[in-house]
Structure 1
């Protein structure tokens, strides 16, 4: 029977191992392939899109700056004056103004000015002196126009070179007279664009190009493509028809590729980057492969460990299970047999120790309960019935009155009133007036004891008399004033009891002119809950805690004492929370 149960546990452990490890790992692998891979792919793509977008922003800033430079030339007052008075101006005058502009920029290769068929220039020497007279330029109204890249032959010293230039041209209009004054053409080396997108070409197999709105390629990382067109590319529609923003297109050819394009807002050109998906997602694919093989290896290792531990540890676990069943039936003498010093052995020792502690605890609780009942019975026997004491003292009071002993009668009357209030103190709350009456009766008894050396002044606002307060909060304070205020050097004590409302608070101040309380004594009073030497046996700490319990933590006692100058105790209560006494 025992072997059958052990075999069953082992099979369950093996089954749980497959369910909790193999199934989740396989699920994770499948989920990764379907979902997570797509998420990571989108992240990689978004990163690539962002890099293209940032580069297009960089190009937009560059081209906008060049347009502003052309505006500065066409609006230059000196140049406009020369054009207005061109008959008096010399050829050198125009070239000198243009040289002043070109020397201020390192990215401008050539500035040409065409006015009434005359060509003025500053910069490199262009061999082909043909003029760029496009119909769009002739019909323009002075706005900057960009023209595609073309190869130009230039002469530097005695040598001639071929270079690719893209141009910015605009009509010069004198806005004072609205007359056409000529045309301005700025030549920029195509390498200027390459420098701007050089960071995008670092990826292996990536191609970057810039084309205009017609699809003509103006610049490309593969220089052979300059002057060509993207209209034959499978992605041209998505790239050209997207008027603004950025996006990506995946397409399949000889190699699966991703095309990322972004619009340069200043002139509508398109920045396009193509990269193979194998390169773009290479790192992600490596991570996926490592994850799959690592997961499979992990599953095999864990299954092996599960088989090993299922055979090694099921036997002592079953033994401990049997001991726990005995304990459930009430047999606290049962103990498990410990055969090893490993964690399972420690578990067996802990189980035995726990059972022993339970046994000791039960014995201790039974013993403590018996001792508690004995103490309660002893206290019950020693307790004096307050009703019996009240009735007896009341009888003595009337006998003292009949015999004419007024002092004894007065003291017993006060004591009887105190006992009457004590008998009725089953209530948690009494009115402030009742609390003060309790203090008055207590003072009557203390005046007899101290030969009327106590003088109390009551200054109570009428509207505070009916406010309900926790019981027995003032008498312990007055009692402390008497105990620590009357000494051989200070036989008389004046106490001032004052109550008033302050906003939503009921404030009661009790101030004496005694010698004050030492700091150590005060700390003891504030930490002791009761005192067997006092009439009420209620300490200041108890008073403070009960006030906070009824009214809130922001209320309670404030004690201000200084040796030789007396003591002042402020009782703060929430009048709103305490409530008003019913009529």
Structure 2
């Protein structure tokens, strides 16, 4: 019976049989079934588009070849190259095609015979060295297509062009000399054929000649500026086909087709993250299919495992409450066997923890009270003895006013020290206490030091722990000023800094070495004839009462003096009746 109620049995059978079988197998089979097919279909689509562009470009090249041959035939049949009829015919050809730039005929020596439109020829063009001219001279029967270049033969005409050239015979009197006929065409039609083809948002088509020169590229300016790179060397090794380019951190599918008969290559560039839309759609479909399956399985599992999860959740909440410090709420025992046993043991542990904590609290409270009482009761009788001796000497000398002042200050000093057994007094009372102490010490030490007390008005509404200023002032007098040959100065300032109450005691005494300063809060520094409440004790009292974020802070340099800051929380005085 216990085995059937165990967590292991119910969770294992529910999740292994339903979740693993339903989700894992179905998702794996669906993805492997269709992902490879989707990628192949995308590759085939790109190849078909590139082939279509290649086909259109071959037709365009054939048309341009036909135009060249028509122009060559008209020149050959014309009685003279200056015949007006020939000129009109060639101009008519130019008007019918917006992609034609010029038609020109040159001698083999590079002299201009005629050109349409009629523009003056530039000097120093080095015509004989241009690729289209050399190709026509070297291969007179072959129609040559030049790489893209700026046609700079004629004045006021500097256009990007592809030159079609071949040797052509023309009539000159009774003879038929051979010249070089060149037809320049721009990229208007090529651009229109190519820019309409896109693969996703980033894919494109570009065209290169057989030497790797770019004939057309939609990002031509970036290519020339060196901001974009195409792997032309690898493209030139292919007549047709495709390869994957992973340069520049992006995966691209490069598809190539060669244009007959000129040897240009049409190159399609498609980014794989965009062209595989079918695969993406398949991934989306599988994702949502799995979501639905998982939701169904989870719903079924919740119904089956409800009797397991609820007791465990209650136990988890109780453990969280214990972690946050609440040891009073017991766990209700219910659910499966393991949870019932765990709840029982946990309740037993809570009872023991509560008993131990109550015992520790009582002991710590007693210890803390005794420590505070001991620390605050350390008033050395030497201080009272020395003060009374000083009063006797004053009386013997007849200094009546100073006797009255000393006795009055001593009375008020002890009255504030006792303060009806209270540990916390107002800032004003603490300042009054240290003021009477300074009056007494000034009478004893006779013009040995002066003092200044500066207190901000806003701090008077706050309270402080009593007997924290006097031990520090005593320390400044005995260890800092008493051994000085000149008169000393003690400054006391009270204000609010960084949302904390700050008491600052500064003197211009002998100061302390770094070694002494480092040990100041780890040893007692009370004087033999002082009040007996040492610096260490003041620091301990503050931290015992307010916590380790508060206490004393020392700064000191030898022969320069010492500054002590006391940091306390801002606690307002309770109004009468509260």
Normalised to the residue count of structure 1, the TM-score between the two structures is 0.43
Query: Higher relative contact order by CA 8 Å / sep ≥ 6: 1 or 2?
Result: 2
Normalised to the residue count of structure 2, the TM-score between the two structures is 0.43
